[in-house]
């Protein structure tokens, strides 16, 4: 396989990762890391570094469209980034000092539970729910577009969401996946945001979270420009296509896609963790 064909294949695979990552709010690293390591034999540390750069590209490609269309809640995203950024720096330092196989297995089991929780959608058809006192203080309530016009929503359990975001940041820096799954579920299940708002705000956030830990991988030499170039271009194209399709996708279908991707991600994490335990 020559360099041109290899570059094209990596770019196509990355486009799929960017599309799914943008549509579900997961980022794209959940496909990029196993694709690079299993299909192309890339060292896991370089795959993680490349994935973090790709997550930044996913966020850049989708976030602008989501903000323009009115799905992303910028105030919520900026507030929660305080937790995710701090967690990402901690996770990146831990990744250079601790074995990740045990954490990968635990993370996979948590994601399996998350897939189950995501199959139990919140009722988004009734009246706008009241925001709690933290959300009122921080003015987090907002609206999002629907085929019938803008729809209001409230925000609940801000402290719980903030704590989950710190965990998401640690996992992002440790595993290089953007941890959009934890972000989306924290906003959807804990903070009671509409699912499309959760996915759009997650896309807005994951780039900042990934940037916080990508600098550490860059400093250690684990980001290869030759490998990163086709991945970033592919992810950027895919994420922009995903952003265009979000408005027309039904919430139920979006949850189904999200749950299916979470199960695949969980299985891959558990497999990687068990493999790391067995092969030392």
Contact between 178 and 22 under an 8 Å Cβ cutoff? The reply is no
Q: Which domain holds residue 219?
A: 3-278
Q: For 15-29, write each residue's pLDDT tens digit.
A: 988 887 777 666 666
Q: For 63-118, write each residue's pLDDT tens digit.
A: 777 788 888 888 898 899 899 888 888 887 887 777 767 766 776 776 677 667 66
Which contacts (CB < 8 Å, 24+ apart) does range 255-258 have? 255/118, 255/119, 255/121, 255/195, 257/20, 257/23, 257/24, 258/24, 258/25, 258/26, 258/118, 258/184, 258/195, 258/199
Sequence-ordered list of residues with C-beta below 8 angstroms from that of 164, at least 6 positions apart, any chain:
182, 185, 186, 190
- Going by the DSSP 8-state scheme, the letter that residue 23 receives in this structure is H
Contact between 80 and 163 under an 8 Å Cβ cutoff? The reply is no
Does residue 208 or residue 149 have the better pLDDT?
Answer: 149
Token digits of residue 34:
């196993």
Strands, E assignment, the chain: 142-144, 151-153
Domain count, the chain: 1
Kindly report the pTM of this predicted structure.
Answer: 0.70
- Residue 28 phi/psi, 5-degree rounding, is 115, -20
- Going by the DSSP 8-state scheme, the letter that residue 143 receives in this structure is E
């Amino acid at each position: 396989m020559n360099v041109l064909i290899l570059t094209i294949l990596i770019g196509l695979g990355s486009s799929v990762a960017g599309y799914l990552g943008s549509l579900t709010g997961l980022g794209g690293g959940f496909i990029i890391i196993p694709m690079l390591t299993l299909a192309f034999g890339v060292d896991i540390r370089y795959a993680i570094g490349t994935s973090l750069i790709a997550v930044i590209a996913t966020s850049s490609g989708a976030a602008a469209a989501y903000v323009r269309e009115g799905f992303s809640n910028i105030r919520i995203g900026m507030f929660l980034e305080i937790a995710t950024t701090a967690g990402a720096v901690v996770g990146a330092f831990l990744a250079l000092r601790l074995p990740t196989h045990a954490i990968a297995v635990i993370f996979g089991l948590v994601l399996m539970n998350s897939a189950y929780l995501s199959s139990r959608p919140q009722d988004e058809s009734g009246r706008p729910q009241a925001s709690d006192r933290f959300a009122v203080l921080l003015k987090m309530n907002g609206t999002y577009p629907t085929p019938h016009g803008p729809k209001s929503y409230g925000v609940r359990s801000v402290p719980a969401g903030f704590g989950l975001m710190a965990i998401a940041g640690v996992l992002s820096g440790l595993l290089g996946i953007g941890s959009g799954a934890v972000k989306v579920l924290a906003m959807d299940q804990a903070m009671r945001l509409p699912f499309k708002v959760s996915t759009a705000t997650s896309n807005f956030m994951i780039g900042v979270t990934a940037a916080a830990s990508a600098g550490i991988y860059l400093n250690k030499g684990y980001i290869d420009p030759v490998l990163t170039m086709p991945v970033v271009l592919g992810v950027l194209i895919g994420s922009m296509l995903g952003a265009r399709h979000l408005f027309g996708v039904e919430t139920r279908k979006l949850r189904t896609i999200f749950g299916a991707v979470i199960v695949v991600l969980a299985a891959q994490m558990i497999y990687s963790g068990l493999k790391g335990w067995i092969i030392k």
